[in-house]
Chain A
């Protein structure tokens, strides 16, 4: 024990870091590496892996001190998949060697991560995935196609799930790997979406060789390992604390106030209804956060993504209508590969189109409704025809 579990001690260590590496005169990357080594990267991680084994709730203490001192951050939005999904999975299932190799450059942003889960034939039914990994000596040889991969064109590493045993039911024949995105068998192609840009990629894997040392967890245990990743994804999508009008309702409310000539009675009724629903969704999210802080996590989290997906879509749809003649326009259809995605960025038309993905990505709204019905309300599961059938015998 280091005794670093209280705020005062964390402040002391942060001051020490700042004294030894003054942000004004220290290279950004050098500072981030020093911060990691000081255990102030993610204080709840173990010592030696960027943390101090302190409560996660104390991280804001460190962040506030560093921000006040003008220290650089690791640009968390650029490396969200690494921080939010790969890191917790590596921490839970990785070997000591894997943790030491991967976590530091992941956190500093030197190495970007992406996620190779979804496939053209395995979306909501992710466990049916067909990308094959076949053992060959000390390696696995991987063939298949992945889709909806953000950051694939920037990524050094990927978390990958692949089928290692087609002869057992689908959930049991999956293994979880770390895939080197610089392998010559990895081909990344931009996947242009309805907004005109390509936020995501398709990834083709052809005889990609992955050393067995880059397997996370046991052979055949990949589905369980992936649950860690996916649970963290939903936490990430659940969203941060918002002020009133902090989300999609903000821009349309602003337009309403500034441009009285656009107002109609019908739009007024619909705007007020959505404004109320957005405010109630914000309060529901706030109540969920208060429950978490009080140590009484509620099941509302599963519902928040449902609420925000629907609201984002309806509000942005209303906004396009409100704009009238301007609603006939779109800012730019040019094919681009943005590094960062902002759902409320760009214009109303973009918001309308991009928000269509909100009810698909990270679990479709239909699947989330099933999850709420079964896990929260305790209603019976759908009759399953795939549970005890070997993957190779499933219809496709």
Chain B
């Protein structure tokens, strides 16, 4: 490839290796993560797809992408993890990849908790950062009380906690503690997003292992989560556009394909423009996170301020333009709508990220 990205010109493309990774993940999801199966699973006892998680992690080693090889991982970067997330978003796959392989892993990378890190990187252990999913990288989060060496408190809105083996819990002494999930009471909450459900975590004298300082670990974890969420949203929006275009080419009313009506063509063309723009913004965030560029905070905030409205609109358009079928439980459009809407809150709202940008790029409030 002849592009020569510099620190001021992020590489916004996909390398051949990244495209190969995408193809491998997509093949796996095509075979093992079809929409009827995902819909059926949402109302089962096991909303998370553990066989799929095993295939992605133990089979393909994808849980360790962000972890250096000498610490038990694959030594890849946020660029590759972003490609995996695009595909998982495209399939609304119910696996704890963003929460365990990105967010919890980033927290552990910061703490230097290498034994647990290697467990997560191998995918044998699923981790969840016990910070509510709606908390932005710069936002306030709740802590639990440390008393007599054990932890007490209740936390809510913890994504994928029901699937987690270990919880990373910020405590009021400023530490981040590893708590075994079976030492806590984890109760699934009835969640808007059926494929990334949230749960409450109650600690009633639970023992924990202090990993390090909570604040820097949580900030780093949430920033990576927010930045790479944009890639998941990009994949989700791309699925919504592609499926809607396909449907409108086939669906006939008034003796014509519905997709031939100009009002719909213009809406879809506009959506296409937003989807390709989101891809550029998400790629920029992933690349700057990967290179540790000082501009990464701006790139993440830009990507998140842009991504949520686009992903939500893509999903809303998918529901509307599929007509009646889009309102049914049977058609998967609702899974995408629910994920997109929950994602618009996850790791900070678009408005929250705009407020962060106001400081970062010196466009201050009145």
Q: Do A and B bind each other?
A: yes
Interface string of B261-295 (1 = CB under 8 A from A): 01011101110110011111101100000000000
Q: How far does the alpha carbon of A379 sit from the alpha carbon of B251 in the complex, in Å? A: 12
Where chain A touches its partner, the secondary structure class is helix
In the complex the two chains form, is A370's CB within 8 Å of B262's CB?
yes
Contact of B273 among A257, A275, A293, A372 (CB under 8 A): A372
In the complex the two chains form, is B2's CB within 8 Å of A293's CB?
yes
Q: How far does the alpha carbon of A379 sit from the alpha carbon of B366 in the complex, in Å? A: 46
- Residues from chain B with a CB closer than 8 A to the CB of A273 are 305, 354
Query: Does A187 sit at the interface, judged by CB under 8 A?
Result: no
Q: How far does the alpha carbon of A284 sit from the alpha carbon of B279 in the complex, in Å? A: 8
A286, A303, A369, A379 — which one has the most chain B CB atoms within 10 A of its CB? A379
In the complex the two chains form, is A283's CB within 8 Å of B281's CB?
yes
Query: Does A182 sit at the interface, judged by CB under 8 A?
Result: no
Query: Does B357 sit at the interface, judged by CB under 8 A?
Result: yes
The residue in chain B whose Cβ has the minimal distance to the Cβ of A262 is: B366
Q: How far does the alpha carbon of A271 sit from the alpha carbon of B364 in the complex, in Å? A: 10
In the complex the two chains form, is B284's CB within 8 Å of A378's CB?
no
In the complex the two chains form, is A287's CB within 8 Å of B363's CB?
no
In the complex the two chains form, is B256's CB within 8 Å of A283's CB?
no
Shortest B279–chain A CB gap in Å is 7
In the complex the two chains form, is A379's CB within 8 Å of B248's CB?
yes
| Total A-B Cβ pairs within 8 A | 135
Q: How far does the alpha carbon of A307 sit from the alpha carbon of B306 in the complex, in Å? A: 14
Where chain B touches its partner, the secondary structure class is helix
Q: How far does the alpha carbon of A276 sit from the alpha carbon of B363 in the complex, in Å? A: 12
Query: Does A279 sit at the interface, judged by CB under 8 A?
Result: yes
Query: Does B13 sit at the interface, judged by CB under 8 A?
Result: yes
Q: How far does the alpha carbon of A291 sit from the alpha carbon of B12 in the complex, in Å? A: 9
- Residues from chain B with a CB closer than 8 A to the CB of A168 are none
In the complex the two chains form, is B265's CB within 8 Å of A253's CB?
no
Interface string of A258-279 (1 = CB under 8 A from B): 0010011100110111011101
In the complex the two chains form, is B366's CB within 8 Å of A268's CB?
yes
- Residues from chain B with a CB closer than 8 A to the CB of A341 are none
The residue in chain B whose Cβ has the minimal distance to the Cβ of A376 is: B272
Query: Does A281 sit at the interface, judged by CB under 8 A?
Result: yes
Give the size of the chain A interface in residues (CB under 8 angstroms).
48
In the complex the two chains form, is A369's CB within 8 Å of B366's CB?
no
- Residues from chain B with a CB closer than 8 A to the CB of A339 are none
A275, A378, A383 — which one has the most chain B CB atoms within 10 A of its CB? A275
- Residues from chain A with a CB closer than 8 A to the CB of B266 are 366, 369-370, 373
- Residues from chain B with a CB closer than 8 A to the CB of A268 are 358, 363, 365-366
Query: Does A1 sit at the interface, judged by CB under 8 A?
Result: no
In the complex the two chains form, is A290's CB within 8 Å of B268's CB?
no
In the complex the two chains form, is A260's CB within 8 Å of B363's CB?
no
Q: How far does the alpha carbon of A294 sit from the alpha carbon of B4 in the complex, in Å? A: 10
- Residues from chain B with a CB closer than 8 A to the CB of A306 are 270, 273
B9, B257, B302 — which one has the most chain A CB atoms within 10 A of its CB? B302
Contact of A280 among B3, B262, B306 (CB under 8 A): B306
In the complex the two chains form, is B269's CB within 8 Å of A300's CB?
no
- Residues from chain B with a CB closer than 8 A to the CB of A272 are 305, 354-355, 357-358, 363
Query: Does A3 sit at the interface, judged by CB under 8 A?
Result: no
In the complex the two chains form, is A290's CB within 8 Å of B11's CB?
yes
Query: Does A382 sit at the interface, judged by CB under 8 A?
Result: yes
Shortest B234–chain A CB gap in Å is 12
In the complex the two chains form, is B280's CB within 8 Å of A379's CB?
no
Of the A-B pairs whose beta carbons lie under 8 Å apart in the complex, a sample of 15, sorted by A's number, is A257-B362, A260-B364, A264-B366, A272-B363, A276-B302, A284-B276, A284-B280, A294-B1, A294-B3, A369-B270, A373-B268, A376-B272, A380-B249, A382-B262, A383-B260
- Taking A269-B354, A303-B276, A379-B248 as known contacts, 10 extra A-B pairs with beta carbons closer than 8 A to each other, sorted by chain A number, are A263-B365, A264-B366, A272-B363, A276-B306, A276-B357, A280-B281, A294-B2, A306-B270, A307-B273, A372-B272
Q: Which 3 A-B pairs have the closest CB atoms?
A: A380-B260, A373-B265, A263-B366
Binding site for A on B (CB under 8 A): 1-3, 9, 11-13, 245, 248-249, 256-257, 259-260, 262, 264-266, 268-270, 272-273, 276-281, 283-284, 302, 305-306, 351, 354-355, 357-358, 361-366
